[in-house]
Amino acid sequence: MNKQNIIRGLIFVIATALAIIFFPRKNDTQFTYQLNRPWAHQLLTAPFDIPIYLDSISKAEKIDSINRVFIPVFKEDKSIVASLFADIDTLSGISVAQKSRLKAELGKMYAKGIISPAAEKIVKEGKLQEVRFLSGNTLVRKSADFLTPREAYSELNGIFGLNNDIHQAISKAHAAGKILPNILPDSLSNSRLYREQLQPIEAAIGVLQKGERIVDRGEKVTPQIYSILQTYEQMTDKNDRTVNTGDFSTVFGQSLFVIILFAALYFYLYIYRRTEFDSPKRLLAIVTSIVGLYIGAAIASKVLTAGLYIIPFAILPIMVTVFFDSRTAQFCNIIEVLLCAALAAYPLEFVVVQMLGGIAAIFSLRELSRRSQLLRTALFVFLAYTFSFIAFELMQSGGMNAGTWRVVLYFFANAVLISFAYILIFIFEKLFGLTSMVTLVELCDINNSLLRNLSEECPGTFQHSMSVSTLASGAALKIGANVLVVRAGALYHDIGKTVNPAFYTENQHGVNPHDALTPVQSAGIIIRHVTDGLRLASENKLPQVLSDMISQHHGCGLVKYFYKTYEKQHPGEEIDKSLFTYPGPNPTTREASILMMADSVEAASRSMTEHSKEAIESLVNSIIDGQIVAGLHNESPISFRDIHLIKESFISRLRTMYHVRVAYPK
């Protein structure tokens, strides 16, 4: 067992333990018993008259018997035939005699019965030989040998297939679509007759009078006793009476419930969000959010009446949406709401209200790039909470009272707390190394110290980075990738060049220091801008996502210029490619793939002497196709469709960037 598995296990155990500790304890429990097992408690007598119903096994047998012999009822729609005959009278191209013959044949088929798909399903599944029809107040049996509309049309086609006039008239009138079923299930009669047969089964078959024995210690819990015990428990609950047992069963049930919920969360992350599952920090952030909110809810529910509604549960889906994705946010919200439902006085009401509030939060906040968005989200959550709660009150109580408006006031306080989620997002970023869209927006500010230094020390590289950002952002938007990640990655991908700015062509002014170096030395300096960039990113505490973009923007590609130079200088010699290969790794995300493509295309475009549409298309296709052939994008989830759209975006942007200007007069 590796270290990460141990950490994940500890997170699961601690989270489960905390949830169980704060789980509400109930003083009232029910007897524990199982069917066909000995009764483990003392003699139990009836404290009040208890109606005796059929046990579940006997009841199931009788219901099965009814289902086996029950013959469904159908009804005949006679208007179908009249409507069809009226359509036949309007047919052109055939004589009156031919129309009469056609109606006669159709009349025979409808007399036999043309069945609807729903009725056909009932007949086939029940393997029915007969069905029933309601004639007045009398049920009449009839053979179930019906035709389907398709069979009726095939039979009609067989009869008139050689008669061209009738056949053409039928085809021209689209008769296949006009042969409608006249035999339909009679749902109302079936439901009524079925209920009538079930009534004797549902009715009480006797009464266990007060003081009579129900079951004694060691006695086997038969199906009949089991049924009486269930009735007894239902009546006890209805009368607000309780039966005391030990706390172990309650704690065990609560523990099992909590374990199931957290296991569901773990399985979801393991199957659908492996990145979060494999990262202990990201996993801990998710679990901490759920457990922390649950503990706050448990405390609030004890301090205030309806105190659960003041807890800003919508903060959880907001934070998970900001740091991860909306699907994970919805799943976490479900886990949180189900966990906290045990704290609520009215669990169904609580679950519905909180579910709707969570959905409102997720749908109103696709990505957080401005603080004002939180105010809008808080408003939507407040409206979702308020209207759903009022709807429940009207359904259950038929009106609203002072308590209703007190809860609405709680919702308002809830919304105010949600608007402060920005502070919590900042704390989670620092604690768990997460990256929000707000942080990326701030990092894209060119007044940032790293970017300002890049513009001063490497003006050519800075302009290149800005151009790459423009190219990459457009492509990301077109394929639905994360535009902010791509833009920030493009701005910072070459910050390592600030260490040796003069060794990069875009920063040179006539003197090329590579002329005094060997190709191997030059390649080493060029490659070093990746490792230097990672060092600067670490020193300046850039998010991991930007460090990944820096390390992956060249992947494991070659420094081709110096590799080819060395190859020409040493013909026939076996070359150690590792001396000319970037450290990588290759792109593992669509955003990193876009950056790699944009970086190479933008750099190559600056050496073009012709900027025609054909030249730009040739450049973009050759560079991107070359990267694909080299396998640089094999580890990225990017698709062929994405690549096609990226190429289109690059070509369009480059044509705009290199468009010909009007010659100004001197």
Instruction: State yes or no: pLDDT of 513 exceeds 60.
Output: yes
Mean pLDDT of 237-245: 51
Its CATH class, for the domain covering 437-657, is: mainly alpha
- At position 98, the amino acid (one-letter code) is Q
Q: How far is CA 444 from the centre of its chain?
A: 30
Mean pLDDT of 481-504: 91
**How far is Cα 628 from Cα 644, in angstroms, rounded to an integer?**
12
**In the prediction, which pLDDT does 27 show?**
41
Of 250-254, 283-287, 547-551, 567-571, give the lowest mean pLDDT range.
Answer: 250-254
Q: What pLDDT digit, counting tens, does each position of 313-335 carry?
A: 999 999 998 888 889 999 999 99
Q: What pLDDT digit, counting tens, does each position of 619-665 carry?
A: 999 999 999 999 999 999 999 999 999 999 999 999 888 765 555 66
- Please state the domain extents for the chain: 64-200, 248-432, 437-657
DSSP H stretches of helix in 161-222: 164-172, 175-178, 187-202
Of 294-308, 390-404, 435-449, give the lowest mean pLDDT range.
Answer: 390-404
Going by C-beta distance under 8 Å and a sequence separation of 6 or more, which residues neighbour residue 275?
A: 282
Mean pLDDT of 341-357: 86
Q: What pLDDT digit, counting tens, does each position of 132-161 carry?
A: 888 777 888 888 888 888 888 787 777 776
Closest CA to 646 of 593, 604, 605, 582: 593
Q: CB of 422 within 8 A of CB of 454?
A: no
Of 138-147, 351-360, 450-459, give the lowest mean pLDDT range.
Answer: 138-147
Of 118-132, 230-244, 283-297, 349-363, give the lowest mean pLDDT range.
Answer: 230-244
Residue listed under structure tokens 């007044």: 447
Q: What pLDDT digit, counting tens, does each position of 21-60 carry?
A: 888 765 433 565 656 656 656 688 888 888 888 887 888 8
Answer with the residue of higher pLDDT: 658 or 415.
415
Instruction: With cut-offs at 50, 70 and 90, classify the pLDDT of residue 433.
Output: confident
DSSP H stretches of helix in 46-186: 56-69, 79-89, 96-112, 117-126, 149-160, 164-172, 175-178
Instruction: State yes or no: pLDDT of 290 exceeds 90.
Output: yes
- At position 612, the amino acid (one-letter code) is S
Q: What is the DSSP string of 246-264?
A: -SHHHHHHHHHHHHHHHHH
Of 180-189, 535-544, 622-631, give the lowest mean pLDDT range.
Answer: 180-189
**How far is Cα 638 from Cα 592, in angstroms, rounded to an integer?**
10
**In the prediction, which pLDDT does 466 show?**
93
Instruction: State yes or no: pLDDT of 253 exceeds 90.
Output: no
Backbone angles phi, psi at 208, to 5 degrees: -95, 110
Going by C-beta distance under 8 Å and a sequence separation of 6 or more, which residues neighbour residue 223?
A: 35, 36, 55, 56, 57, 58
Percent of the chain residues topping a pLDDT of 90: 32
Instruction: State yes or no: pLDDT of 241 exceeds 50.
Output: no
Mean pLDDT of the chain: 84
Instruction: State yes or no: pLDDT of 198 exceeds 70.
Output: yes
Answer with the residue of higher pLDDT: 437 or 627.
627
Q: Using alpha carbons only, how large is the chain's radius of gyration in Å? A: 38
Q: CB of 485 within 8 A of CB of 545?
A: yes
Percent of the chain residues topping a pLDDT of 70: 89
Q: CB of 620 within 8 A of CB of 650?
A: yes
**In the prediction, which pLDDT does 242 show?**
41
